[in-house]
Amino acid sequence: MVGPVEGYQVFSLNNEENVHIIGKTKLPEKYLAVSDVLCLPSYREGFGTVVIEAAAMGVPTIGTDIVGLRDAIVSESTGILVKLQDLNELVQAIEKLIIDREYCKNLGMEAYKRCLSAFKADDMSELVAEEYRNLLGR
């Protein structure tokens, strides 16, 4: 687990052999590069840039079906979307990707392809600039 853990119930994971609780880091990409899946059960996201960063590395994402993540994850194609606050569905999605390694790998490949085609840096920068121009009435 990478990121702040204060306030999260991670105590049950401490004794798991394959779970490492890293906490905050200035180099999250280092951990993403060796990850099989990104799990982002967020309550709110502006867009989910980390999902696109994971996709650029061929890592699929399990995320909650909320605005922002819904735009970054194509469920059952580039990752899996689960219902907000549905722990059972989240666990099932994690187990699915742990058990079916080929499926997990395919999601990662599709995420990578989508990242290359839909989220080119120049295109994204132009869309942001266009939005600002629209907001300013230009």
55-71 pLDDT, tens digit each: 999 999 999 999 999 99
User: For the chain, what percent of residues have pLDDT higher than 90?
Assistant: 67
One-letter amino acid of 60: P
**CB of 41 closer than 8 Å to CB of 64:** yes
Model pTM? Answer: 0.83
The CATH number given to whatever domain includes residue 42 is: 3.40.50.2000
- Whether residue 23 lies inside any domain: the answer is no
The domain containing residue 97 runs over which residues? 35-135
CA 136 to each of CA 62, 112, 129: distance values in angstroms, whole numbers, following the listed order: 36, 34, 11
* Residue 107 placed within a domain: yes
The tally of domains found in the chain comes to: 1
Q: For residue 13, is it within any domain? A: no
